[in-house]
A and B are shown apart, each in its own frame.
Chain A
Amino acid sequence: MTLNLKERRNKTGTVLVATGEINSETSGAMLQTLLPLVREGRPLRIDLTAVTYVSSAGLRTLLVVYREAQHAGVAVTLYGVSEEVRFVMSATGFLDFFETGEAAAAEAKVKARSAR
C-alpha cells in the first residue's frame, strides 16, 4: 500500500491530504513533505480522511511533525481521523498529543453556545 500526498493552500493555511497507509515504508516520504511545510510557518491541517491505517512508525512520524511544529510555533491539526485510527491513537496515547479537527470543531460549538 502506498501513500499519496496532495498539498492545498488556502487563506488560513496549508492542507495536506493523505491517502493510503502511513507506515514505516511511507512515513519517510511523508516526513520529507511535511517538514518544509512546517518551516513555512503557516497553520497546517493534515487531512487523514482517506488514511486507512497508521502503524507504530507512522504515529511516531506524525508526532515528530507535531514536535517540530511546536518548536516552530506552528499550529498543526489532524482532521478526518477514522474511527479505527482514532481508536489506535487513543489506546496508545498518541491522540493526547494532537489537536484534532473534530475536537476543535466541538470546542468551537460549545463556545458559540455559551456566547449566546
Chain B
Amino acid sequence: MARNLQFGKAINEALFIAMEKEHKIITFGLGVDDPKRIFGTTAGLKEKFGSYRVFDMPVSENAMTGIAIGASLNGIRPVMTHQRLDFFLLTMDQLVNNAAKWHYMFGGKSSVPITIRLILGRGWGQGPQHSQSLQSWFAHIPGLKVVMPATAYDAKGLLLSAIFDDNPVIYLEHRWLHNLEGEVPEGDYRVPIGKANVLKTGNDLTIVSLSYMTIEALHAIEILEKQGVHCELIDLRTVNPIDWETIFKSVGKTGRLIALDTATETLSIAGEIVAKVSMEMFGKLKGAPTRIALPDFPTPTSPSLTDKYYKRAEDIVHTAGKMLGRKLDVQEILDSRKSPHDVPGDWFKGPF
C-alpha cells in the first residue's frame, strides 16, 4: 500500500528493509547514530540492528572508504553516509582508484558492492565548501553507478537497488528534498538503476532533469501549461548509466530540449545530454537544445550573491519562452513564493 511519506523518511525505511533482509548490510558514517541521525534518515537503526552494524566513525573519510571496500570484498555490504558531498572529496583516491576499478582490473574476480550516500547542500550560506554538486565527476569515472532521486518514491526504491547492487553506487540526495512528501509503497520495491522516469507528457518541449531541479521543473511546467505550453518532463534518476532511449524518444516527439542540472554548467550532466542529443538526433531538432545549470563559479555565501546564482522555475519558463519564440509570464511563480530564495521552506531556520 502506498502512503504519503517524506523523502528523508523513505530513505530511512529503505535502510530498515535492507538491513532486515540481509544481515551483511552495515551503515556507518559521521553522525549515523548521533541524536540528529543524519537529518533523521538513520533514525532507529542502531536500536534495531546494534552498534556492530550501525556506527559512527572517526573523521577519516579516505580510510573508511577503503575499509568499506575491503569489507565488501568479503561479503559485507556497507552503506556509508556523508552529510555533505564536499567532505567525501577526501576519499577520491579510494573511490576512483580502488572501488571503481576493482572488478575490471582483476578480470571480474571480485566486485565492490558499496553504497555511498552523499548529501548535496544549497542555500543558507552553505558556501563554496558545503554545496558542491559534483555528480559529473562521479559519472565520469567508469565503474561507478550514480543515482540522484528526486521523489520520495525513488528515494526508497533507488536506495534499495543501490544497496543490493553488486557494484559501487553513489547515491546523491539533495538536502532540499528531505522534507518533501510523496507516495511511497510499503515493503521492498526496487527502482531500476539506469531507467529514467517520464513524470509529465507533452508535445512542445522535453525537459530532462535530475534531483532537486525536477521540483523546480514541476513548478515551471504548471505555469507553462496555463499558458498553453505542454512539456514532457523526464526525471533522469540515474546519471550513470543514463537512460538515452527515454530521452531520445521524447526529443524525437518534441524536437526541443532543455536539460537541467544542480551543478555548474561546463562539463555537467546537462551538457552531456545536450551533446549526445545533438549528435544522435540533429535532424529531429527544431532548434538548438539548451541547458540550465549553475554559473561556472564557486557558490558564494552571502544571500545577496546566491539570489541570482541558483536557478529556479522562472529561469526554466524564460528559457522555454525563448526556445518557442514566445513571451511567457512568470509573475505567478514569483507571487506564489512564500519563503526567501535561500531556504527550502518557511520551516527552515538554519543553521545547517
A complexed with B: no
List A residues at the B interface (Cβ < 8 Å). Answer: none
